[in-house]
Amino acid sequence: MTGHVHIVGGGLAGLSAAVELAGSGVRITVYEAGPACGGRARSYEDRHLGCRIDNGNHLLLSANDAVFRYLGLIGAERSLTGPGRPIFPFVDLGDRSRWTLDLSRGRVPFWLLSKRRRVPGMRLSEIRGLTRLTQAGPDETVADCLSPGMLATRLLAPFAVSALNTPCDTGSAALLGAVIRESLAKGGRACIPCFPEVGLSESFVDPALAHLSLLKAEVETGCRVAAVEVADGRVTGLRLPGRLVPVGPDDTVILAVPAPVAAGLLAGKVPGFTAPDAFESILNVHFRMPVPPLALGALGQARFIGIVGGIGEWVFVKGDVLSVTVSAANRYADRDPDALAATIWDEVRIALDPALAGPLPVAMPPVRVVREKRATFAATPAQERLRPGCETALGNLLLAGDWTATGLPATIEGAMRSGATAIRVLRARGRSARATG
């Protein structure tokens, strides 16, 4: 494989592609439009809170093979933390009930036979909903497949909204089924939760940039690609501010930008190109505590708790910062951010107080509300049909990103798979060229 590989986009898909290829002897340049790499999974200093926070919360599972491969390549596999076993604390704000989903490690779901380890109030007959999800057709929604009952209300529906970032009545059952087949269906060993010990950048971005620098890959930040020049069925140049980067006959471009950016760059230039065009937002609400709260029991082990029946869905205990995730947040777009934060703080107090050594203050502490307006594509059956594959009609243009056809919703795992897929395609083309040369 020869030539120069131009990777447009320094988010996790672009970094994944660069990391996979680094050290192969091929020249690599990553062009990132923003001042820092990481995209929607990075950390930054928040002046209002006076501390470093993540721009989003991400709960990973031990089944995320692409994520752990990436972390292994950059030497950051020990930067994640978690309970070390498949436990998930929950609270239902409706009746204030609390439980810990405690999965069996093997494929046989012995946890379903124990009232102490499963969702309270569920009936074993509700398991049919899980089977329906894993066998769902391309046009079915999550709501079509769920059986009424506590398993759906207290686990499957909240899990669906978190995994798809889309409401159950429109979310793709097939996409959720793919997640279930790769996690819950494989048993608890595939469902051990983890998240960055320090921050997203410290786990996924900074070690990757150090790795790429060591292997002589170039990363240019503050470098927006404004246009893609095309001629004779291939990319011939990348238009940057004040200069044109030529793309030679042996060069490859991997476009790893968000779907709207890709659509703008490729409109009218790539025959048959489609991309998702409907999106869902995510809210992350960060509360800075005067002192780090001391979590006990299952919350102390997991350092997060799931909330049922509220606005917030997950609360993460990160030292002196309590971070709340609200998925499928388009429904709250018209709500005043301050009022929304106050309501969420009340939910946090209800959820956490019984599991802390001391109660949280009644008055809301300093808060930062972060809204990612286009956090993911809306994971509906219609949008799923618009997701493109890695290869395009242009001979030297490949696509990467969580919005491409990864078989998963828009997740970190999907983003990293897409980057690795682009490099596999590139290598396969190189082998094919050598065989026919």
Q: Tens of pLDDT along 209-263?
A: 999 999 999 999 999 999 999 999 999 999 998 999 999 999 999 999 999 999 9
Question: What predicted TM-score, i.e. pTM, was given to this entire model?
Answer: 0.95
User: Mean pLDDT across the chain, nearest whole number?
Assistant: 95
In words, the CATH class of domain 44-82+193-200+279-377 is: alpha beta
Looking at residue 54, the DSSP 8-state letter turns out to be E
Question: Which residues, other chains included, contact 316 with Cβ-Cβ below 8 Å and sequence gap of 6+?
Answer: 57, 195, 303, 304, 322, 323, 324, 325
Nearest of 241, 217, 220, 239 to residue 230 by alpha carbon:
239
Q: For 316-328, what is the mean pLDDT?
A: 97
Task: Give the range among 315-324, 325-334, 423-432 with minimum mean pLDDT.
Answer: 423-432
Work out the angle between the directed axes of helices 12-21 and 206-214 (0-180°, nearest 10): 30
The answer to whether 4 touches 408, Cβ cutoff 8 Å, is no
**Cβ atoms within 10 Å, residue 114:** 10
Beta pairing partners, 60: 194
Return the CATH number of the domain spanning residue range 4-35+221-277+379-436: 3.50.50.60
Residue 350 has pLDDT above 80, yes or no: yes
Burial of 86 (0-12, 13-18, 19+ CB in 10 A): buried
CATH 3.90.660.10 domain position(s) in the chain: 44-82+193-200+279-377
CB burial of residue 214 (10 Å; 0-12, 13-18, 19+): exposed
Instruction: List helix spans (H) across 205-336.
Output: 206-214, 259-266, 297-302
**pLDDT > 70? residue 434:** no
Buried b (16+ CB within 10 A) or exposed e, 309-330: ebbbbbbbbbeebbbbbbbbbb
CA distance 67 to 49: 30
With a cut of 90, say whether residue 379 has pLDDT above it: yes
Q: Give which of 183, 169, 166, 177 is closest to 137, Cα–Cα.
A: 177
Using pLDDT thresholds of 50, 70 and 90, give the confidence band for residue 436.
low
Question: pLDDT digit string (tens) for 108-162?
Answer: 888 988 999 999 999 988 888 889 999 999 999 999 999 899 999 999 999 999 9
Domain with CATH 3.50.50.60 in the chain: 4-35+221-277+379-436
pLDDT bin (cut points 50, 70, 90) of residue 78 is: very high
pLDDT on residue 1: 58
